[in-house]
């Protein structure tokens, strides 16, 4: 088996041409590679510094020019790490002494024996390799000692310093060059709490073989007479024969730990960003009122759970520093709304909780919630940005049936989510129906998670029809969930749950794979329908996934489906809220040949800027504009405008939710090319689509 290693390359430095050629012949016969021949010292330096450098240099001492081999070797060694072997006729003591100064790896006299030359070269190479390993280990050790967080000081057997790392310099305030050779007590001077001197553990280790840990409260006196609380450990430095060559002390500055103990309460019970009470302190105060209310039911109090609306958009678009400024400003406004006896706490993220003690009546609570939203809605002026915010507020009243503070917080949180679902910027009061609804939703969420994991959902396909000839040109793939106990669950219910839980990514990927495979089956079976395409909805959550393009490519490859047969439907909010990542991803998808549709167009931002920015091919007009278009003038004008806009931008338009003949005629009159709706077909199962295509063939 041949070695995969390249032969050793050797640079020959010799001013006699015939001798150089003779050396070259010997080296080649020995299996070496010749990196070149140099006649002068300066040429030798040039060749040594070339890329790639030689593995070894055979250097004659007497050379042509103004530089001999020893000078050349010295210059080379100062710049690169290449083993040098002197091969020369000179062996006088003066020459040898000069040669020693450059630490050659061998010194061979001419005339040489080939075997001796071979042995000397191999020994030199091996010695160089060993020295490199030693240097690497030394560098590694120095790097470790300089990078660890503890101070390290070593001494000889007399307690005089031989090494200090950067951390030790920083703590003691001594510079390394000042410490070397000094007694350890000069640099690491230790005293107890009463300023009495303490024996350095180094001397304990040298005397007994093991240093005792410093007593708690030990202080190190720095060069500038500052006091630093420290902890330490000290051990002997032993060689491989277990003889001591000194000792090492490792110590650390524990000032932060001491300060942390002093600030323990503040850290445990207050939020670092806003300096408001945190959840622990809030719950502690609330539990006191809950217990009091169970003994004295007339003790009126309430909890408000406040969540800033759309705070994530601020963080994602302007960055966390601006988000933090917004949280600090919101905290100050909340405090401004409250009485001194009330408590406002930051629970984390953009969530705050308010404890209102001794409420005169609950009308007072509702008025306060309105005031909070007015205060929070005033524009914030932060770092040259004008930001607008509102809050969703959940309210729960202190009642005797509550046994724990956490139960009240839970119910206030539930009410807050109800307020957010009602449209944000408002408050909701907790009632038992909310709790029942949340429990039902949680059960449904768990069932959905299981259904997605088990691939227990199905896909229905709604045909997209050309108005020109009523021909089916494609299908939209729609996920359907037949719950084993509750029957068919509306997508309006389970899709939002999937989005909130993150299941939407897994669900959409499953729909994508299944739809690609199914449309390929229909294309192959009905050759006349080879141009049939399939539309798949893609949630905005996909655009935070690094592999979204690869997932789409893989689905197409697994189904052996042309990219031209796939359309991906996105909502307007996806484009607006993910501007940095969406443009590149959509361009990559477009370059594959995939068409990009905007679903429910007209219900979101409807901004002309993103229609130009992204590679969009089709606008799907939302069904809310199609319903009664034949009798509603405003809706008619909206649809007409969308169709004109689509044509002006070289896009097609698809009208969704068409149900009546009158709607069809109105849409046809406006020049819309494609429709989708119950007038032609409801969403169909795979078998129903197959039957439909058979009848159309």
Instruction: Give residue 1's pLDDT band: very low, low, confident or very high (50, 70, 90).
Output: very low
Residues 6+ apart with CB under 8 A from 381: none
Percentage of the chain exceeding pLDDT 70: 96
Residue 2: per-residue pLDDT: 42
Residue 580 has pLDDT above 90, yes or no: no
Instruction: Give residue 13's pLDDT band: very low, low, confident or very high (50, 70, 90).
Output: very high
Residue 60's closest CA among 43, 130, 49? 43
Residue 113 has pLDDT above 60, yes or no: yes
- Segment 446-452 mean pLDDT: 87
Q: Report the sign of the C-alpha dihedral through residues 648, 650, 656, 661, in that order.
A: positive
pLDDT in tens, 117-155: 999 898 989 998 888 887 887 777 777 777 777 889 989
Residue 298: per-residue pLDDT: 74
- Segment 160-179 mean pLDDT: 91
Residue 249: per-residue pLDDT: 87
Percentage of the chain exceeding pLDDT 90: 42
The whole-chain average pLDDT of the chain stands at 87
Print the SS3 string covering 375-414.
Answer: HHHCCEEECCEEECCCEEEEEEECCCCCCCHHHHHHHHHH
CA pair distance 314, 273, nearest whole angstrom: 17
Q: Tell me which of 300 and 567 has the higher pLDDT.
A: 567
- Segment 217-245 mean pLDDT: 85
Which 8-state DSSP code applies to residue 40?
B
Residue 609: per-residue pLDDT: 65
Residue 577: per-residue pLDDT: 62
Residue 457: per-residue pLDDT: 92
Say how many CA atoms lie within 13 Å of 80 toward its Cβ. Answer: 20
- Segment 75-103 mean pLDDT: 87
Instruction: Give residue 262's pLDDT band: very low, low, confident or very high (50, 70, 90).
Output: low
CA pair distance 603, 629, nearest whole angstrom: 16
Entry pTM? 0.50
CA pair distance 494, 680, nearest whole angstrom: 26
Residue 605: per-residue pLDDT: 52
Residues 6+ apart with CB under 8 A from 133: none
Q: Tell me which of 139 and 392 has the higher pLDDT.
A: 392
| The residue count for the chain | 697
Residue 260: per-residue pLDDT: 78
Q: What domains, with CATH codes, occur in the chain?
A: 9-144 (3.40.50.2300), 148-259 (3.30.450.20), 270-430 (3.30.70.270), 444-696 (3.20.20.450)
pLDDT in tens, 601-652: 876 554 566 677 788 999 999 888 898 888 888 889 989 998 998 898 899 9
Select the highest-mean-pLDDT range: 143-147, 235-239, 476-480: 476-480
Q: Tell me which of 492 and 211 has the higher pLDDT.
A: 492
- Segment 49-57 mean pLDDT: 92
CA pair distance 103, 84, nearest whole angstrom: 8
- Segment 379-383 mean pLDDT: 86
- Segment 414-443 mean pLDDT: 81
Residue 477's closest CA among 491, 466, 497? 491
Taking a C-beta distance cutoff of 8 angstroms, is the pair 617, 654 a contact? no
Q: Which two tokens stand for residue 276?
A: 């408001």
Residue 332 has pLDDT above 50, yes or no: yes
pLDDT in tens, 494-511: 888 888 888 888 999 999
Dihedral over alpha carbons 537, 539, 540, 545 (to 10 degrees): -110
């Amino acid at each position: 088996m041949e070695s995969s290693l390249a032969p050793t390359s050797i640079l020959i430095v010799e001013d006699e041409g015939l001798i150089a050629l003779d050396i070259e012949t010997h080296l080649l016969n020995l299996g070496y590679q010749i990196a070149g021949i140099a006649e002068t010292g300066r040429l030798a330096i040039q060749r040594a510094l070339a890329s790639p450098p030689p593995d070894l240099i055979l250097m004659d001492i007497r050379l042509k020019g103004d530089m001999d081999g020893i000078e050349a070797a010295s210059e080379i060694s100062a710049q690169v790490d290449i083993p040098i072997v002197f091969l020369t006729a000179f062996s006088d003591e003066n020459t040898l002494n000069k040669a020693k100064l450059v630490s050659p790896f061998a010194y061979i006299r001419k005339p040489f024996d080939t075997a001796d030359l071979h042995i000397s070269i191999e020994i030199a190479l091996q010695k160089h390799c060993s020295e490199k390993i030693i240097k690497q280990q030394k560098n590694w050790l120095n790097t470790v000692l300089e990078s660890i967080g503890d101070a390290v000081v070593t001494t000889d057997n007399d307690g005089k310093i031989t090494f200090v790392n950067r951390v030790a310099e920083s703590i003691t305030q001594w510079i390394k060059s000042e410490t070397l050779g000094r007694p350890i007590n000069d640099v690491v001077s230790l005293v107890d709490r009463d300023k009495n001197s303490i024996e350095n553990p180094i001397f304990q280790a040298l005397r007994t073989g093991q240093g005792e840990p410093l007593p708690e409260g030990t202080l190190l006196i720095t060069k500038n007479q500052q006091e630093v609380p420290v902890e330490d450990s000290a051990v002997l430095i032993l060689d491989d024969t277990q003889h001591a060559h000194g000792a090492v002390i490792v110590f650390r500055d524990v000032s932060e730990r001491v300060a942390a103990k002093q600030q323990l309460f503040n850290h445990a019970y207050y939020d670092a960003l806003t300096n408001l009470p945190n959840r622990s302190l809030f719950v502690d105060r609330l539990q006191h009122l809950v217990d009091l209310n169970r003994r004295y039911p007339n003790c009126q109090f309430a909890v408000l759970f406040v969540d800033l609306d759309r705070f994530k958009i601020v963080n994602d678009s302007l960055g966390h520093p601006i988000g933090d400024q917004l949280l600090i400003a919101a905290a100050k406004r909340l405090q401004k709304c409250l009485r001194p006896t009330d408590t406002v706490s930051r629970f984390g993220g953009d969530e705050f909780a308010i404890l209102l003690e001794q409420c005169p009546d609950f009308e007072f609570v509702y008025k306060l919630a309105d005031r909070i939203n007015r205060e929070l809605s005033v524009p914030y002026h932060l770092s040259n940005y004008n930001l607008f915010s509102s809050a969703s507020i959940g309210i729960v009243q202190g009642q005797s049936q509550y046994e724990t503070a956490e139960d009240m917080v839970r119910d206030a949180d539930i009410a807050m989510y109800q307020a957010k679902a009602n449209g944000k910027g408002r408050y909701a009061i907790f009632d038992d129906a909310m709790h029942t609804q949340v429990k039902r939703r949680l059960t449904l969420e768990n069932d959905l998670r299981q259904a997605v994991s088990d691939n227990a959902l199905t896909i229905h396909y709604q045909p997209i029809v050309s108005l020109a000839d009523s021909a089916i040109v494609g299908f939209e793939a729609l996920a359907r969930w037949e719950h084993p106990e509750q029957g068919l669950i509306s997508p309006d219910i389970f899709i939002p749950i999937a989005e909130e839980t993150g299941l939407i990514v897994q669900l959409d990927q499953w729909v994508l794979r299944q739809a690609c495979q199914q449309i390929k089956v229909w294309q192959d079976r009905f050759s006349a329908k080879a141009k049939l395409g399939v539309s798949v909805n893609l949630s905005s959550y996909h655009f935070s996934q690094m592999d979204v393009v690869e997932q789409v490519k893989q689905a197409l490859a697994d189904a052996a489906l042309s990219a031209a047969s796939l359309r991906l439907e996105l909502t307007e909010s996806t484009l607006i809220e993910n501007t940095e990542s969406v443009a590149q991803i959509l361009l990559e998808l477009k370059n594959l040949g995939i068409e990009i549709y905007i679903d429910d167009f007209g219900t979101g931002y409807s901004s002309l800027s993103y229609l130009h920015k992204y590679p969009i091919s089709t606008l799907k007009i939302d069904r809310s504009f199609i319903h009664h278009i034949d009798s509603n003038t405003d809706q008619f004008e909206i649809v007409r405008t969308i169709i004109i806009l689509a044509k002006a931008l070289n896009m097609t338009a698809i009208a969704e939710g068409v149900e009546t003949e009158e709607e069809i005629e109105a849409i046809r009159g406006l020049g819309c090319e494609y429709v989708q709706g119950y007038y032609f077909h409801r969403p169909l199962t795979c078998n129903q689509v197959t039957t439909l295509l058979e009848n159309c063939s």
